[in-house]
């Protein structure tokens, strides 16, 4: 989960674009097809975006899937703040929105996030899901896999795998929040 | 934030954040598993030196739903009844490794004193006739819900998290202000949130020093009612009827009761609050208590969510808990 409000002034100075807008759009289209292929259609499919940017990516994927299949797909938001393993070590975090579209029991839940890094966010998301129901399967779709996992977690659908150093910062910019679509890498401190 | 002793401890950002997180916490009530892991391994002791059902229960549920270990200690049957001082009782419990105390005490200032003695964090759940900050927060939570639903009816989106919902809103707090700890906390919290509080009471039921609260005071309920966006009725304690604060119950109802006639005279879109327990037929008529614009049940439903949010803000992080 990237920071909700990146410092654009410094990141633009010292970061480079590794995925531009059209590439990002193509990646999402491919991911939408892959999700449908793996699921053999949109039956029982629920896309859950992890705030902040995962929510917008989930909406885009849902729109693409609806276009392909000709019918809408269920979509929601899953905030994992309360499930983080570093909750106590950080200043009080704002809690995001959780909105689950109906029951998820026996559904195929696809978690959607922007960047897969340590895997801790996804581990927390799996814990959160367990309190919400029992999906038939849980899959993971991320726009960027940047490596450096700290837990045994892998994505099922990846937009782009990017080689990074652990201290580099990977940022996904989305037009809904940031004005344009791009993935950037910088050395502006922080963990991603 | 280390303690929550007074509604004045909250600045606009933290008060707004508590209300916002409470919105999310309220969803937990409708989940199959009513549990969040945020306070796992924390121990919260609810210590009540005064009877209370709704506050104690809602704090206990709030702690449990956040996975804290909550323990209730009531003064009856405790070492307090054997003559132990408040200080010794609190230090004893503190020595057991408690993370937070939720304390209710009949003496004003008790929570503040305890906070000076113990290592644990302290939440004031009502101290005498002084303060009850979480009640003021849940009142604000219910009011904000109401203001937002009015905005939604007119298709105006509220500006999220801005905390401006209360700007220019008139909140009349009516009744036994002298014996109420809810009123002071509401006045202090609304000073931060921006609501305009008007105090309505017979002169005999005004707290001493009310002139320093910098909010208008009147004994003319009907005039205040015509302007009010929120009418908050406070309980008249029947046991105090004999105290000479007002001549008869009937006379009180006439001057300060939210009767059916006054219910009809309320401004369109105005809503009714009551912290409970209600005396139907005294400060509030049954028609008003059950009216469509009564927020009484919303207040109860929001109580757990607001207290979860307060516990989360105080205990969720090690950073800030020591400051």
Sheet holding B121-127, edge to edge: B69-74, B43-48, B100-105, B121-127
- Is residue A190 one of the residues assigned to a domain? no
Which of A76, A88, A124, A125 best probes binding to B when mutated, by most B CB atoms within 10 angstroms?
A88
**Lowest-confidence segment of A5-19, A123-137, B74-88, B272-286 by average pLDDT:** A5-19
pLDDT computed for residue A191 by the predictor: 42
Is A126 inside any structural domain?
Answer: yes
* pLDDT beyond 80 at A3: no
pLDDT (mean) for A46-67: 97
Nearest by CB to residue A87, choosing from B313, B316, B320, is: B316
Q: CATH number for the domain including A149? A: 3.40.50.2020
pLDDT of amino acid B277: 87
Distances (CA, A) of A83 to A30, A88, A112, A113: 31, 11, 17, 16
Task: Match 């004994």 to its residue by tokens.
Answer: B219
B254-268: per-residue pLDDT in tens? 999 999 999 999 999
Q: What is the ipTM of this complex?
A: 0.77
Q: Is the pLDDT of residue A129 over 60?
A: yes
Q: In this structure, is residue A13 part of a structural domain? A: no
pLDDT at position B77, please?
A: 63
Residue B321 is predicted with a pLDDT of 65
Q: Are B316 and A97 a contacting pair at CB < 8 A?
A: no
Q: Within a domain: residue A35?
A: yes
Q: How deeply is A25 buried, as exposed, middle or buried, from its count of CB atoms within 10 A (0-12, 13-18, 19+)?
A: middle
Q: In Å, how far is A124's CA from the nearest CA of chain B?
A: 10
| Burial (CB count within 10 angstroms: exposed 0-12, middle 13-18, buried 19+), residue A68 | middle
Q: Do B65 and B311 touch, CB atoms closer than 8 A?
A: no
Q: Give pLDDT, residue B82.
A: 74
Residue A70 lies in a domain: yes
**Does any domain span residue A177?**
no
- Average pLDDT for residues A41-58, to the nearest whole number? 95
Alpha-carbon distance of A146 to A165, in angstroms, equals 9
B-chain CB neighbours of A127 within 8 Å are 37
Strand locations in B49-143, DSSP E?
69-74, 100-105, 121-127
User: What pLDDT does A192 receive?
Assistant: 42
CA A185 – CA A162 distance, rounded (Å)? 10
Containing structural domain, residue A39 = 20-86+96-166
Domains B7-130+301-315 and B133-296 share a fold: yes
Long-range (24+ apart) CB contacts under 8 A made by B162-169 are: B162/B16, B163/B12, B163/B15, B163/B16, B163/B19, B163/B193, B163/B194, B164/B194, B166/B140, B166/B190, B166/B193, B166/B194, B166/B195, B167/B194, B167/B195, B168/B194, B168/B196, B169/B143, B169/B194, B169/B195, B169/B196, B169/B229, B169/B230
DSSP labels, B229-259 = SEEEEPPP-GGGGGGTSSS-HHHHHHHH-B-
Residue A8 falls inside a structural domain? no
From the list B24, B25, B320, which residue is nearest A91 (CB)? B320
User: Between residues 103 and 132 of chain A, which touch chain B (CB distance below 8 Å)?
Assistant: 127, 130-132
Q: Which CATH number among 3.40.50.2300, 3.40.50.1370, 3.40.50.720, 3.20.20.70 corresponds to the domain B133-296?
A: 3.40.50.1370
Q: Which of B316, B318, B319, B323 is the best residue to mutate to test the A interface, defined by the most A CB atoms within 10 Å of its own CB?
A: B316
Domains contained in chain A, number: 1
Residue A151, pLDDT score: 97
A140-157 average pLDDT score? 97
Residue spans per domain, chain B: 7-130+301-315, 133-296
Q: Flag if B31 and A82 touch (Cβ within 8 Å).
A: no
Backbone angles phi, psi at A183, to 5 degrees: -115, 130
What distance in Å separates the CA atoms of residue B37 and residue B315, rounded to the nearest whole number?
Answer: 12
| Residue A59 in domain | yes
Q: In the numeric block, which tokens belong to residue A43?
A: 């039956």
CATH 3.20.10.10 fits B7-130+301-315, yes or no: no
pLDDT tens figures, A67-101: 999 999 999 999 999 999 999 888 888 888 899 99
Which of A95, A101, A105, A134 has the most B C-beta neighbours within 10 Å, making it the best mutation to test the interface with B? A95
Q: Which residues of chain B have pLDDT under 50?
A: none
């Amino acid at each position: 989960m990237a920071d909700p409000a990146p410092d654009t002034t410094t990141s633009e100075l010292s970061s480079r674009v590794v995925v531009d807008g059209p590439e990002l759009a193509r990646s999402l289209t491919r991911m939408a097809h892959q999700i449908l292929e793996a699921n053999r259609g949109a039956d029982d499919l629920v896309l859950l975006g992890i705030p902040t940017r995962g929510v917008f990516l989930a909406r885009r994927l849902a729109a693409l899937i609806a276009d392909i299949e000709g019918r809408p797909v269920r979509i929601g938001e899953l905030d994992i703040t309360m499930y983080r393993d570093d909750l106590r070590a950080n200043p009080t975090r704002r809690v995001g929105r959780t909105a689950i579209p109906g029951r998820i029991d026996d559904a195929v839940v696809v978690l959607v996030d922007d960047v897969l890094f340590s895997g801790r966010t996804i581990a927390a998301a799996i814990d959160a899901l367990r309190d919400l129901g029992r999906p038939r399967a849980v899959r993971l779709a991320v726009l960027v896999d940047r490596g450096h996992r700290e837990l045994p977690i892998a994505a099922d659908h990846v937009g782009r795998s990017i080689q990074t150093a652990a201290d580099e910062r990977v940022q996904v910019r989305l037009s809904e929040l940031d004005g344009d679509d791009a993935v950037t890498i910088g050395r502006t401190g922080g963990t991603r | 934030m280390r303690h929550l002793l007074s509604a004045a401890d909250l600045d606009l950002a933290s008060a707004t954040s508590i209300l916002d997180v409470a919105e999310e916490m309220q969803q937990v009530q409708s989940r199959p598993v009513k549990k969040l892991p945020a306070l796992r391994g924390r121990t919260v002791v609810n210590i009540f030196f005064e009877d209370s059902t709704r506050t104690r229960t809602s704090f206990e549920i709030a702690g449990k739903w956040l996975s804290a270990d909550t323990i209730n200690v009531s003064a009856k049957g405790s070492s307090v009844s054997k003559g132990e001082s408040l200080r010794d009782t609190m230090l004893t419990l503190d020595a057991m490794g408690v993370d937070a105390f939720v304390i209710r005490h009949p003496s004003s200032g008790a929570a503040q004193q305890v906070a000076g003695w113990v290592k644990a964090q302290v939440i004031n759940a009502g101290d005498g006739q002084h303060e009850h900050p979480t009640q003021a927060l849940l009142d604000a939570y219910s009011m904000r819900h109401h203001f937002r639903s009015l905005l939604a009816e007119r298709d105006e989106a509220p500006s999220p998290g801005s905390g401006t919902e209360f700007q220019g809103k008139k909140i009349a707090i009516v009744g036994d202000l002298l014996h109420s700890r809810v009123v002071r906390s509401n006045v202090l919290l609304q000073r931060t949130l921006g609501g305009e509080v008007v105090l309505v009471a017979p002169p005999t039921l005004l707290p001493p020093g009310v002139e320093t609260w910098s909010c208008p005071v009147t004994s003319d309920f009907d005039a205040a009612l015509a302007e009010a966006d929120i009418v908050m009725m406070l309980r008249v304690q029947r046991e105090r009827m004999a105290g000479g604060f007002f001549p008869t119950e009937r006379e009180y109802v006439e001057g300060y009761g939210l009767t059916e006639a006054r219910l009809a005279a309320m401004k369109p879109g105005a809503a009714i609050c009551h912290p409970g327990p209600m005396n139907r037929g005294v400060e509030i008529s049954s028609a008003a208590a059950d009216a469509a614009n009564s927020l009484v049940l919303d207040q109860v439903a929001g109580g757990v969510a607001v207290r979860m949010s307060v516990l989360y803000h105080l205990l969720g992080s090690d950073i800030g808990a020591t400051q």
